[in-house]
Structure 1
Amino acid sequence: MQNTINLQPITLQQLGWQPFFQQQLTLEDYEQAVIARVIAHHRSGYELLTKQGRHTLPILSQMPLMTVGDWVLLDQQNRFSRLLDRHSLFSRKAAGTKIAEQYIAANVDTVFIVCSLNQDFNLNRIERYLTLAREAQVEPVVVLTKADLCTDAESKRQQVQKLDPMLMTECVNSLEPESVQPLMQWCGKGKTVTFLGSSGVGKSTLINTLMGHNEQKTAGIRADDDKGRHTTTSRSLHFLPRGGILLDTPGMRELQLADCQHGLRETFSDIEALATRCRFSDCHHQTEPGCAVQRAVESGNLDPRRLKNYLKLLREQERNSASLAELRAKERQFSKLCRSVKKERP
């Protein structure tokens, strides 16, 4: 362990400590271990925060994969000892053709799904983020930004609300403290919130307003297509004035789903309910006779856009889940081979 930086004393509760984590500790842990939370993740290592201050932890091959928001135990020499079980985890299939799982954030209480009200407004993308949030079993709140630049903000908010009548949806002008004030109800003491959204939707501006100062760099959007530029390039934790903990993540142009069966069922519960009334239990909701889902589309009770996106995400998560399952099987076989080789050595 190296590069320890002394900070103002902080309690575990201020870091987001909850009974869920407390229950995982033994008496020996209480007496010997140092409890730390991962507050930033870099290529070479992790930044941790404890009651004693800030530390850096180099990434070693024998350590489990961790991400921002994780809780870990250190020994008396501030070396890694154990990763505590998570109560929530956001992950995705790694971008591009690479077959790997990428962790986004851990131990989050609320996720702000940020979407701007300009040309970037996209219901399909919001449904994708909702699937991720519900798979992680984290409360989602849709935050529609740049309300000051939109003439039909309420109409778009109603479109989002139709996705789920119980979904919390807020329209904000990220530059105005009064406009973002409704979001503070999810940012209470010890509560961890995170932001998910594409580049350029105003996450960094929103964070600066919530923080009360310029914590994050901001950048404009391209005028020709309203597409954003990356301003956040790493995951990190920030502390809000009211005691909440804000976990920032880079904007993601690509978010491929994997192992999200539960999240899909929750996000598209209306289609799942209709499917139970189809004539065939394995109905694909295309041209099969007696398809209750297609009848709902024809009668105007189901938006064809929503069905198309559901089928697309369903195929995507099945394909990616199968690829990741195959990768995990190969990794288990390799680990087993390594253990057998070690046993055979004299």
Structure 2
Amino acid sequence: MVRDFSGFLPGGKATGPGGRELTALEALGWNPFFAQQIDADALVETPPVRVLAVHRSGLQVAGDGIDERIPAGIEATVGDWLLLDREQPGASRLLTRKSLIKRRAPGRDHKVQLIAANIDTLFIVTSCNQDFNPARLERYLALAFEAETEPVIVLTKTDLADDPSFYIDAARAISDRAEVIALDARGAEPAQALSGWCLPGRTVAFLGSSGVGKSTLANALAGNDSIATQPIREDDAKGRHTTTRRELHRNPGGFLLLDTPGMRELQLTDTGAGIAALFDDIETLATTCRFRDCRHETEPGCAVRRAMAEDRLDPARFARWRKLQAEDEYNSASLVQRREKDRAFGKMVRDVTKPKSRPKT
């Protein structure tokens, strides 16, 4: 039975290609990738639900006729799909993710922070002012490429820039695998410019610094002012945190949108493939060096250094590649070491607490 989903989507029912009405699960992003992980019997016994928000007290989930909060107990993030265990909700099964966006959490313990899962398109938002930073955009793109989600760079505040083309050209130069959209986040322009990605059953997310217009964009796509916004500081164009948590919003167009708090720190971890994809030109050059283990420093026959000498490679871009590689290797290695330490500590605890057999008399 197809349930009426219009209560979730103001303005009517969501429809897919050919005008077919989406089921409740499809409107939440359910697709064959997740369906093939579950059989018909399990579908009834443990209904699929999607995590809309993560609270300290538990997870807000929604499914076909389900919209409730369940206790914490599973390491899930916003966008995850679970098979809901009615008797023990905290033991619900986590389905394999189609994509996962993560970073090294702020602090010294090298923990990994899960940002969002199962995102189809990642809108990387920056503005045409002092916030624009190619190195930061490279970090976001590396995250997107690692997660195998589609990245789109969105430049906001074009109405306040003397020459928006400068920012557009600079953003396009970062990677030819990410489309660049420049717009005024207010009014009807975002809904028109981003409509090709905001399709029924799809999940999109905004990622970027505070004050770049993520919440304004979200409101423009929703057609209302349900998400609070704040102005930036005029002296340095820095923003204030408006969104305080990651949460999926269901929109009238039938798509889901994730608005995220601004990130002051974005440390990469386990993103080697994403960095390689972002700097594929340098990676390709490196394969033509004389020595396979070339460090691109003083070795003879280094194709990378030759490309810089011949102005075919920007030394600043090469330096950023080296920096991201070193950061990712350090954070990833530290994470592995921490896991090994945790396993060793767990084994010691089990050995100490194991009941000792009494000697025979």
Q: If the length of structure 2 is used for normalisation, what is the TM-score?
A: 0.88
- Counterpart of 2:66 in structure 1 is 53
- Counterpart of 2:101 in structure 1 is 90
SS in 2 for 1:38: strand
- Which one of the candidate residues 51, 62, 66 is aligned to 2:76? 66
Letter in 1 for 2:85: D
Alignment of 1:97-246 (within 5 A): 97-246=108-257
- Compute the RMSD of aligned alpha carbons: 2.1
8 A contact 1:7–1:54 mirrored in 2: no
- In the alignment, is residue 274 of structure 1 matched against residue 285 of structure 2? yes
Letter in 1 for 2:107: G
Query: What percentage of aligned pairs have identical amino acids?
Result: 49
- Which one of the candidate residues 24, 28, 40 is aligned to 1:27? 40
- Which one of the candidate residues 254, 267, 271 is aligned to 1:260? 271
- Counterpart of 1:320 in structure 2 is 331
SS in 2 for 1:69: coil
SS in 2 for 1:185: coil
Deviations 1:128-152 (A, max 9, x none): 1000000001010110111111122
Between 95-104 and 27-36, the greater mean CA deviation after superposition = 27-36
Question: Structure 1 residues 281 and 51, CA, compared in 2 at 3 Å: closer, same or farther?
Answer: same
Aligned residues: 338
Deviations 1:59-79 (A, max 9, x none): 23xx3x110000111133472
Task: Measure how far apart 1:236 and its partner are.
Answer: 0.2
Question: Structure 1 residues 338 and 29, CA, compared in 2 at 3 Å: closer, same or farther?
Answer: farther
- Counterpart of 2:51 in structure 1 is 38
8 A contact 1:40–1:48 mirrored in 2: yes
8 A contact 2:247–2:258 mirrored in 1: yes
SS in 2 for 1:12: helix
Gaps of 5+ in 1: 1-5
Task: Measure how far apart 1:240 and its partner are.
Answer: 2.0
- Counterpart of 2:14 in structure 1 is none
d(CA) in 1 for partners of 2:266 and 2:57? 24
- Which one of the candidate residues 25, 28, 31 is aligned to 1:12? 25
Q: If the length of structure 1 is used for normalisation, what is the TM-score?
A: 0.92
d(CA) in 2 for partners of 1:78 and 1:96? 33
Deviations 1:181-236 (A, max 9, x none): 12111110110111111111110111111110012111111111111111111010
Between 315-324 and 304-313, the greater mean CA deviation after superposition = 304-313
Question: Structure 1 residues 330 and 29, CA, compared in 2 at 3 Å: closer, same or farther?
Answer: same
Between 278-287 and 12-21, the greater mean CA deviation after superposition = 278-287
- Counterpart of 1:3 in structure 2 is none
d(CA) in 2 for partners of 1:133 and 1:19? 22
Between 273-282 and 306-315, the greater mean CA deviation after superposition = 273-282
d(CA) in 1 for partners of 2:356 and 2:184? 65
Letter in 2 for 1:8: G
d(CA) in 2 for partners of 1:166 and 1:66? 29
Letter in 1 for 2:174: L
Alignment of 1:324-335 (within 5 A): 324-335=335-346
Between 140-149 and 298-307, the greater mean CA deviation after superposition = 298-307
Task: Measure how far apart 1:336 and its partner are.
Answer: 4.4
Task: Measure how far apart 1:340 and its partner are.
Answer: 5.8
Task: Measure how far apart 1:33 and its partner are.
Answer: 1.3
Tell me which structure has the larger Cα radius of gyration: 2
Task: Measure how far apart 1:24 and its partner are.
Answer: 1.0
SS in 2 for 1:13: helix
SS in 2 for 1:206: helix
- Counterpart of 2:261 in structure 1 is 250
